[in-house]
Structure 1
Amino acid sequence: MYRYRAFNLNFSSEVFLSECTAGTGEQDDFVIIQKKLTPPPLETTNLFRKGIVAQSIVDADGSLWLHWNGVATFHAVNGATLEVDVLTDVPDVLSLFTVSEAIGLILFQKGDFLLHASAVEIAGSGWIFIGNPGAGKSTTCAAFVTAGCPLLSDDLTAIRFDARGVPFIIPAYPQIKIWESSARGLGYQTDTLTPVTEGTNKFSLQPRKNFPVSPVPLERFIFISPSEQESGPFKPGNLPTELIRHFPLPNQLLNPENLKTFFKQSILCAKRIPGNKIPRPDGFEALNQWVTECLARKPLPLPQ
């Protein structure tokens, strides 16, 4: 058994997970075990990774199934156990699929508010970057990390609320994936980075040195838009509708009760956290300039 920590949870795993840091406590919050699985009939999902479309279903007992053909079948039970039927002999591929949506199933069962987004800590507060695939979430996040900001999450962002309803971003694990062009544009030599099996010409940054160990208060949602005409602040009442578009797990999970919970959590965020839609930076010079201004606590939007 390996012992890891991710999303502020300690867990034991029979699967090697290169992205995660070592566990810090004796008590497991959940476990990952290998097991031969026979899932019920599955449905095609909206998830697509490494050329594979996932399949999923919510079982009659409330457990969650997720299947990636040729990679693994995952079964999440009560937020306590993630069963894995391994279908690949490539450890890095199995690790990639496990730390993303599969562990996301456990977080979902534990009641976390989940988004397909990236996040960094800026001056003690959390900024979440949201956008459609290819919008530049990870690249923007990596630019802040390069400038010295602690990484909080990449792709899968988890939010938890305190007793007053205040949202906090939960540090995931110290890895962010960026395309080769982004790595070079941000000043990295790709031969010093780890290639990622998710796709060709993609690399992993692993900022472990200053990775946070405690939840960080959420301060701002930044929606990255391809068009300057679409920039500007969100009205709080529109934010929940926009956030549902960035639910990171299979849509099959959003039954009426879970959808109701998602909107309640969205409303808690909207009451406290501003959302801004900004145009995507026009090149790395503009991106780095905006990062510098943000770190100086200058206001949005992006300079043109």
Structure 2
Amino acid sequence: MSDYDFEFRYKAFGFNIASNFLLEGLLPAEGPPEVYIQEGKVPVEVPGPQDSHAYTVLEGDGFAFRVKDIGTFLVLGGTHIIAEKNESCEPEAHVLFILGTCMGVLLMQRGLLPVHGSALALEDKHIIITGQSGAGKSTLAAALNRRGCSFLADDIAALQEDEKGESWIVPSFPRQKLWRDTAEKIFGSVNSLNRIPGVRDKYHVQMDGEFIKAPKRLDALFELTTHSGSEVAVSEIKGPEKLMVILRNIYRPEIIEFMGKQKEHFMRCSRLASSLPVFHIERPESGFTVDEQIKGIIHSLKQLYHHNN
């Protein structure tokens, strides 16, 4: 295929993308394409029955995987994504996997570190909010979005290392995904939101705050967890546990193992842990405490800023 076959041009995660189909929610490109995304036949055999989840690793930095009822995907050399839809795939449901798992693999192939979390600006600092599924990171990020905080990323915060070893957050695209219950807590209802195809009860939310289009240096990472207490507690993590927090909040970490990149990945995370302030936010298991969580983050950032000056 020539560049003429890729009529749509976008920018995400710091690179220009050419696509042969529409990808809603991405920003327009600013230069020649570096990554190509296409719908078409995946020229790779993924093992196992067609109705099963499976993956295969290819020579030359390739990764192919199949998602039941959605399709088969190939990510090659940090430059190409090919998506082959199943006949039973709901219209546009495969896009979630292109902008999710495929993009995570592509980032790894291009040497960026994908953290599973939201990246945003608060108190003139640029932070990532992460945490295990169900911890409430999307709710907290959505509340900050509603307050007008500027965002860099929603689900995948991609980090690029500069020559000094500092990590920069690369902007993704100005969209947030929320489950129905979270969306109802934040917005009152989902009537004005668009449901994401292929996922029950998940919706797209436009950013209320400005979307930051230039990379920003990462100033701190906050991991959200739940506890049995009744108060929100924010505490700075020191020592080896910082590395553990980073390692457990990488986007699709199992793929790093499949691709045989464990050693370089561990070293990259170690360098990040050695210089990055990392905090725990512990919230009560029940109740709606986002206001207290935000106060705790702001207090921690102010202390950190004051201490460093």
Residue 223 of structure 1 is matched in structure 2 by 223
CA gap of 1:54–1:84, structure 2 versus 1, over 3 A, is same
Q: CA distance change for structure 1 residues 184 and 256 in 2, over 3 Å: closer, same or farther?
A: closer
Structure 1 residues 249 and 181, CA, compared in 2 at 3 Å: closer, same or farther?
A: closer
Q: How far apart in 2 are the matches of 1:198 and 1:41?
A: 22
1:15/1:33 contact within 8 Å kept: yes
Q: Is the 8 A contact 2:46 2:66 kept in 1?
A: no
Distance 1:208 1:6, change over 3 A: farther
Q: Provide closer, same or farther for how the CA distance between residues 69 and 39 of structure 1 changes in structure 2, counting only shifts above 3 A.
A: farther
Distance 1:231 1:256 in 2: 36
**2:35 is equivalent to residue 30 of structure 1:** yes
Q: Which residue of 1 aligns with 2:283?
A: 280
TM-score by length of 2: 0.83
Q: Distance in 2 between matches of 1:193 and 1:278?
A: 29
- After superposition, the Cα gap between the structure-2 partners of 1:290 and 1:37, relative to the gap in structure 1 and judged at 3 Å, is closer
Deviates further, 267-276 or 196-205 = 196-205
Asked whether 1:65 is paired with 2:64, we answer yes
Structure 1 portions without partners, runs of 5+: 45-51
Q: Identify the residue that residue 120 of structure 2 maps to in structure 1.
A: 120
TM norm structure 1: 0.85
**Would the alpha carbon gap of residues 153 and 68 (structure 1) be closer, same or farther in structure 2, given more than 3 Å must change?**
same
Query: Is the Cα contact below 8 Å between 2:11 and 2:26 reproduced in 1?
Result: yes
Amino acid at match of 2:75: A
Q: What is the distance in 2 between the residues matched to 1:198 and 1:298?
A: 42
> 1:228 and 1:217 mapped to 2: Cα distance?
34
Task: Tell me the equivalent position of 1:48.
Answer: none
The CA deviation string for residues 103-146 of structure 1, in whole angstroms up to 9 with x for no partner, is 22211110001122222122343211221111111111111111
Partner Cα distance (1:179, 1:53) in 2: 25
Assess if the C-alpha contact under 8 Å between 1:79 and 1:109 holds in 2.
yes
Matches within 5 A, 1:190-201: 190-201=190-201
CA distance in 2, matches of 1:209, 1:252: 32
8 Å CA contact 1:43, 1:57 repeated in 2: no
1:148-297 matched pairs, under 5 angstroms: 148-207=148-207, 210-227=210-227, 232-249=235-252, 251-254=254-257, 258-280=261-283, 283-284=287-288, 286-292=289-295, 294-295=297-298
Instruction: Please report how far the alpha carbon of residue 150 of structure 1 lies from its aligned counterpart in structure 2 after TM superposition.
Output: 1.4
Shift of 1:224: 1.0
Find the aligned partners of 1:6 and 1:107 in 2 and give their Cα distance. Answer: 11
Shift of the 54–117 alpha-carbon distance from structure 1 to 2, 3 Å rule, reads farther
Q: Which runs of 5+ in 2 are unaligned?
A: 1-6, 305-309
Whichever residue aligns with residue 253 of structure 1, its letter is: I
Name the Cα RMSD after superposition: 2.8
